[in-house]
């Protein structure tokens, strides 16, 4: 007897049976039959695309962070506090999203995309001040916190354990390819789309298009189906047969009590600190490469292209290999160990300002590959750890992870400005000072009383910084008091004063901020090194916490577990009269 013969045709769940037409298209999305491979891959694809766009929207400000800070006159501390607020909002939204075990996941994803798309496309570009900008970014963070739980829950629902790492590898493309979209669009458009708001408009419009796709094309399993453990596609008929006897309410009792255990909490904390360097890349890479190495914003985004692209490839490749070998933990160890080495290599270059673009491309590419090697198997292993506790509470387990992750990121972002305390003058005044310096360097040499040969105007100004600082207070040369003018003529001579007057604007910038920027340049690289060492410590902490997760270390034993499971499924299918059933 085949599965098709033994089971009824696919239909909406009993609670939704009277909903049809437009209401079923827009709201009632539950499936009472586990979908075949084609439909399942379609739903997974919609979830992955939705996740990519969500993170594109969440991270887009990173591409133009220096410009946003300058536009609103923010301090670096204020900008970081906005991101801290967004992550805190996301942490508590993750807790709320734990209700997806009871209410479902698909509508959270679909309509969450609609909200974030509208906020990014219309809210941010029209924000009149920094407070409005902050409120909108925090709202986006809140919605993202809910979808951080709902999207991997959907991926788990549609992926049996033996294909889980591959599926989670594709899901993890969300934040990675979202970041790649940010850097790719930025690196190709910032040179001719000068308004930073354009980056948000492009992103928001794409988000609204995907919102429509998700509303039309996304479905989810009924609670009776998703509340069960599915190891392989051969379990499909068995799960559908068991679904009629599932007591959903009983399986959802005391959800937090069932999930708040050391294996789940410690695993979530471990991966959160492992990813400190990843989130630092998301938030700070553009600022870091622009202020420390003098790269343009387009170049800094181009470096991001290397990081995110190779991270994405590693996630997919390693996910597939992890499923083929049926183990997760060895990949986590290799990935974390490699990330430790490459983060140390990266931080050692913080005090080497002449490091080339392609040297950094190589370093961060290898770092990204190792992070991807650890993360895709971890996501699969974590959902399997939650399933061991209760497969009906996947969203609740992911909510624990989401809350811990967002709290760790919020604390980290809050701490960074204290560790890298000198970044604000570089972000706010670094570019104007560099432009002013370039302008003054073009000035012809001038004759001064204390030298027989002409000297550069810049050296004259630097050698008499206090004097030129006093002169800069007077908008017109005629306003300068006679005593100060006589002092200036005696010190540097009339030719130098005449030439300096032609460069009054850039000299004013150098006088106001040049010393502050130069002092920051001297200490900021060392401060960044301190922060990268914190990231290394997080990667080290991750390693021992792997031991708390479920899963085998040796492929041979994992293969035997899978064979034992297949035998048990075959025996139970035979007892139910479904001997030839197989997934499809």
Mean pLDDT of the chain: 79
Structure tokens at 162: 């033996």
Using CA atoms, how far apart are residues 456 and 450, in angstroms rounded to an integer?
13
Q: Residue 31: which H helix or E strand, with range?
A: strand 30-31
The residue that leads in pLDDT, 92 or 356, is 356
Q: How confident is the model at residue 584 (pLDDT cuts 50, 70, 90)?
A: very low
Tell me: pLDDT of 346 over 90. yes
59-95 burial string, b = 16+ CB within 10 Å, else e? bbbbbbbbbbbbebebbbebbbbbbbbbbbbbbbbbb
> Out of 21-35, 448-462, 490-504, 536-550, which region has the weakest mean confidence (pLDDT)?
21-35
* 292-319 per-position pLDDT tens digit: 887 887 888 888 888 888 888 898 899 8
How many C-beta neighbours within 10 Å does residue 196 have? 22
Q: How confident is the model at residue 232 (pLDDT cuts 50, 70, 90)?
A: very low
Task: Note the pLDDT of residue 483.
Answer: 87
Task: Note the pLDDT of residue 257.
Answer: 79
* 146-191 per-position pLDDT tens digit: 887 788 777 777 666 555 566 676 777 777 777 778 777 877 777 6
How many C-beta neighbours within 10 Å does residue 299 have? 17
Q: Let me know: does 247 contact 139? Beta carbons within 8 Å.
A: no
DSSP states of 335-395 as a string?
HHHHHHHHHHHHHHGGG-TT--HHHHHHHHHHHHHHHHHHHHHHHHHHHHHHHHH-GGGHH
| Residue entry with tokens 């991001």 | 304
Using CA atoms, how far apart are residues 385 and 107, in angstroms rounded to an integer?
26
Task: Note the pLDDT of residue 13.
Answer: 42
Q: How confident is the model at residue 97 (pLDDT cuts 50, 70, 90)?
A: low
Of 85, 74, 63, 92, nearest to 184 (Cα)?
A: 63
Domains of the chain: 3-428+547-575 (1.20.1250.20), 430-518 (no CATH)
Q: Which of the 8 DSSP states describes residue 446?
A: B
DSSP states of 87-123 as a string?
HHHHHHHHHHHTTHHHH-SHHHHHHHHHHHHHIIIII
Of 320, 325, 305, nearest to 376 (Cα)?
A: 320
Task: Note the pLDDT of residue 500.
Answer: 82
Of 475, 451, 426, 131, nearest to 294 (Cα)?
A: 426
Tell me: pLDDT of 115 over 80. yes
Q: Residue 42: which H helix or E strand, with range?
A: helix 37-59
Tell me: pLDDT of 14 over 70. no
- CA distances to 71, 166, 177, 307, 308 from 361, in Å: 29, 26, 17, 7, 11
Using CA atoms, how far apart are residues 232 and 582, in angstroms rounded to an integer?
10
CA angle centred on 319, ends 554 and 169, rounded to 5°: 145
* 562-578 per-position pLDDT tens digit: 776 667 766 666 665 65
Average pLDDT over residues 446-458: 85
Q: Let me know: does 549 contact 267? Beta carbons within 8 Å.
A: yes
Using CA atoms, how far apart are residues 54 and 48, in angstroms rounded to an integer?
10
Q: Let me know: does 28 contact 16? Beta carbons within 8 Å.
A: yes
Task: Note the pLDDT of residue 495.
Answer: 86
Using CA atoms, how far apart are residues 423 and 438, in angstroms rounded to an integer?
21
Tell me: pLDDT of 224 over 70. no
Average pLDDT over residues 358-371: 93
Task: Note the pLDDT of residue 103.
Answer: 63
Separation of first and last alpha carbons in the chain: 15
Q: How confident is the model at residue 517 (pLDDT cuts 50, 70, 90)?
A: confident
Task: Note the pLDDT of residue 241.
Answer: 47
* 328-344 per-position pLDDT tens digit: 899 999 999 999 999 99
Task: Note the pLDDT of residue 266.
Answer: 93
- CA distances to 147, 213, 241, 349 from 91, in Å: 11, 27, 37, 34
Question: What percent of the chain clears pLDDT 90, i.e. is strictly above it?
Answer: 15
């Amino acid at each position: 007897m085949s599965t098709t013969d033994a089971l009824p045709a696919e239909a909406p769940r009993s609670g939704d049976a009277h909903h049809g037409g437009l209401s079923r298209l827009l709201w009632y999305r539950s499936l009472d039959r586990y979908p075949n491979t084609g439909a399942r891959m379609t739903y997974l694809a919609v979830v992955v695309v939705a996740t990519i766009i969500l993170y594109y929207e969440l991270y887009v400000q990173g591409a133009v962070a220096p410009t946003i800070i300058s536009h609103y006159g923010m301090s670096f501390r204020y900008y970081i506090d906005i991101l801290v607020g967004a992550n805190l909002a996301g942490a508590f939204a993750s807790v709320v999203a734990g209700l997806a075990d009871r209410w479902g996941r698909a509508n959270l994803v679909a309509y969450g995309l609609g909200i974030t798309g509208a906020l990014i496309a219309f809210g941010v570009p029209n924000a009149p001040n920094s407070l409005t900008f902050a409120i909108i970014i925090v709202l986006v963070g809140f919605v993202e916190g809910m979808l951080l739980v709902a999207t991997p829950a959907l991926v788990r629902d549609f992926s049996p354990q033996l294909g889980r790492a591959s599926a989670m590898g594709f899901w993890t493309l969300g934040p990675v390819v979202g970041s790649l979209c940010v850097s790719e669009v930025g690196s190709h458009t910032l040179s001719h789309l000068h308004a930073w708001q354009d980056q948000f408009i492009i992103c928001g419009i794409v988000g609204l298009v995907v919102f429509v796709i998700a509303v039309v094309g996304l479905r989810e399993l009924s609670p009776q189906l998703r509340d069960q453990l599915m190891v392989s596609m051969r379990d499909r008929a068995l799960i559908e047969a068991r679904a009629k006897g599932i007591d959903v309410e009983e399986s959802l009792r005391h959800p937090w009590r069932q999930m708040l255990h050391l294996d789940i909490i410690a695993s979530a904390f471990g991966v959160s600190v492992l990813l400190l360097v990843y989130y630092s890349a998301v938030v700070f890479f553009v600022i870091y490469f622009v202020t420390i190495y003098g790269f343009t914003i387009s170049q800094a985004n181009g470096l991001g292209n290397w990081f995110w692209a190779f991270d994405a490839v590693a996630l997919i490749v390693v996910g597939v290999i992890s499923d083929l070998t049926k183990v997760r933990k060895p990949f986590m160890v290799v990935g974390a160990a490699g990330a430790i080495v490459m983060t140390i290599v990266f931080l050692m270059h913080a005090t080497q300002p002449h490091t080339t673009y392609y040297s950094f491309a190589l370093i961060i590419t290898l770092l990204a590959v190792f992070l991807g090697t650890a993360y895709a198997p971890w996501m699969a292993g974590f959902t399997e750890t939650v399933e061991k506790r209760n497969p009906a509470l996947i969203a609740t387990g992911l909510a624990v992870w989401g809350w811990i992750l967002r709290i760790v990121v919020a604390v980290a972002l809050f701490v960074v400005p204290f560790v890298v305390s000198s970044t604000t003058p570089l972000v706010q005044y670094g570019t104007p000072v560099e432009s002013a310096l370039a302008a003054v360097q073009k000035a012809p040499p001038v004759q001064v009383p204390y030298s027989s040969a002409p000297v550069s105007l810049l050296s004259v100004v630097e050698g008499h910084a206090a004097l030129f600082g006093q002169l800069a207070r007077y908008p017109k040369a005629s306003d300068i008091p006679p005593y100060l003018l006589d002092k200036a003529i005696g010190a540097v001579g009339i030719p130098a004063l005449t030439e300096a007057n032609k460069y009054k604007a850039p000299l004013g910038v150098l006088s106001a901020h040049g010393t502050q920027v130069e002092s920051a340049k001297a200490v900021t690289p060392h401060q960044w090194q301190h922060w990268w060492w914190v990231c290394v410590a997080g990667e080290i902490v991750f390693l021992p916490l792997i031991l708390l997760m479920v899963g085998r270390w040796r492929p041979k034993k994992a293969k035997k577990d899978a064979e034992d499971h297949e035998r048990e499924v075959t025996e139970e299918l035979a007892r139910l009269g479904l001997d030839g059933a197989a997934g499809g």
